[in-house]
Amino acid sequence: MHPNDPRLRSFVEVGSSSHFPIQNLPYGVFSTPATPARRIGVAIGDFVLDLSVLEQERLLHPAPSPSIFSQTTINDFMSLGPHTWSEVRMRISELLRHDCGELRDNEKLRARALLPRDSVTLHLPLEVKGFTDFYSSKEHATNVGTMFRDKDNPLLPNWLHIPIGYNGRASTVVVSGTPIRRPLGQIKPPTSHDPVFGPCRRMDFELEMGVVVGQPSTMGEMLSEVEADALIFGFTLLNDWSARDIQQWEYVPLGPFQAKAFATSISPWIVTREALEPFRVQGPAQDPTPLPYLRQRGLNNYDINLDVALRSAEMRTAERISRTNFKYMYWSSIQQLVHHASSGCSLSVGDLMGSGTISGPEKHQRGSLLELSWGGAEPLELGSVPRTFLEDGDSVTITGYCQGDGYRVGFGEVEGTITRALGDSTSLAGGQ
């Protein structure tokens, strides 16, 4: 049976609302108190399957050298290519099936290879070679354009022709759970003639998905739709933290710089492109028709339910503040990759591409506080306290999953908590 077959069952018990059934098998990097060396595993139900153990036992052999899954990142595994990705996923699926005895009936091996997920520490799963962030939600770009430019002409003339993007920082991509220090920067308050340097006062999140590039492309060459698709290893949840006041002062003429450079958080599990195949959908109609090199034939969007929850230091439980879907994106990930390579720019194993903030057509589907609070003018009620931007101690959690028939292929979550700015001993107000 194909590893995506909805009828597959594992001997590991998996509830119907778990993000990690046998149809998923996302890759992550973990360590345990007993064995602090980082290694590669897949999530299954409430467990992590230690692939380095299976490789040592020769139950998996993706490469001639027997240590691909003892690496501290998945980059070397990704470099083996799509054929190996599929073969390995098929074999892991087989080893976890309810009717396969190789692992199920080997108690000693099971004890070494299947570890309770709450007993492991998850790390950044890949070495991020480059980080590019796009701006591909029409609803998000329209909302931002309406607030900052012209409500009658919110989209710039290029937006409907180019998947707009900028080169971000790979050095500050961090895994879920990493605290996020409020950035310092230049800010020009609207009432002041001169800028000041200090802590960001309009701290925001951005709900995004990240594409993980698993194969290189050649400098000087373009990519077709099919070639771009084949380079994609998988997807993560991504929070592109944003300092709106720093952004507003610095972004003309070259786009965001320090407002986005201080941190980007990703979820620890990379869900493979193959596991997402059953959830491909048609994207929105594109009008005007894109230039020939950007035209697409395939179903290149994905039906992924996305949620954002916020919890302040005083709140006991988080409150959901946004619920949307990845399928609304105007430009697909494939169009982003095709455009990125179109100048002759090469892509590398370990490149990360942010989708851009994912907002849907409804108000509750907006993917940032900038939009949810309409630039601070319409505060949210959070635990009955009005809220515009993020305050110190606020925790933001993004979750996402695809709904199958009786099972979910999920991403887990990406969480980050805001800590106070460097050198700032006072409590900061979030709004202005």
Nearest approach, Cβ of residue 371 and Ca ion (Å): 12
d(CA 292, CA 225): 11
Residues 309-368 interacting with Ca ion (rule: CB under 5 A): none
d(CA 79, CA 322): 36
Q: Which positions from 252 to 291 touch Ca ion by CB under 5 A, shown as an x/- string?
A: ----------------------------------------
Choosing from 140, 161, 340, 364, the catalytic residue is 140
Residues 97-116 interacting with Ca ion (rule: CB under 5 A): none
Q: Which of 206, 229, 245, 250 binds Ca ion (CB under 5 A)?
A: 206
Amino acid at residue number 117: R
Whose Cβ is closer to Ca ion: residue 240's or residue 413's?
240
The DSSP-derived string for 285-314 is: --SSPPPGGG---S--EE--EEEEEEE-TT
Going by C-alpha positions, the residue among 162, 25, 21, 30 that lies closest to residue 90 is 25
Map residue 412 onto helix, strand or coil: strand
d(CA 195, CA 173): 28
Contact 340, 299 (CB under 8 A): no
Whose Cβ is closer to Ca ion: residue 240's or residue 394's?
240
**Count, residues near Ca ion per rule CB under 5 A:** 3
d(CA 211, CA 231): 10
Residue with tokens 């230690």, as numbered in its chain? 50
> Half-sphere exposure of residue 78, counting CA atoms within 13 Å on the CB side?
30
Alpha-carbon distances, residue 59 vs 96, 97, 286 (angstroms): 12, 14, 47
Nearest approach, Cβ of residue 355 and Ca ion (Å): 8
Nearest approach, Cβ of residue 265 and Ca ion (Å): 12
Q: What is the DSSP letter of 379?
A: -
Whose Cβ is closer to Ca ion: residue 113's or residue 207's?
207
d(CA 308, CA 374): 17
d(CA 198, CA 176): 26
Candidates 39-47, 201-209, 293-301, 318-326: pick the segment binding Ca ion (CB under 5 A). 201-209
State yes or no: is 2 an active-site residue. no
Q: Which positions from 153 to 172 touch Ca ion by CB under 5 A, shown as an x/- string?
A: --------------------
Q: Which of 50, 55, 76, 133 binds Ca ion (CB under 5 A)?
A: 133
Candidates 11-19, 26-34, 113-121, 132-140: pick the segment binding Ca ion (CB under 5 A). 132-140
Whose Cβ is closer to Ca ion: residue 134's or residue 233's?
134
- Residue nearest to Ca ion as judged by C-beta position: 240
Nearest approach, Cβ of residue 162 and Ca ion (Å): 16
Q: Which of 50, 204, 240, 250 binds Ca ion (CB under 5 A)?
A: 240
d(CA 88, CA 60): 7
Nearest approach, Cβ of residue 70 and Ca ion (Å): 34
Nearest approach, Cβ of residue 368 and Ca ion (Å): 8
Does residue 229 touch Ca ion according to CB under 5 A? no
Tokens of 431: 């709004």
Q: By the criterion CB under 5 A, which residues form the site for Ca ion?
A: 133, 206, 240
Instruction: Give the residue numbers annotated as catalytic, written as ranges.
Output: 140
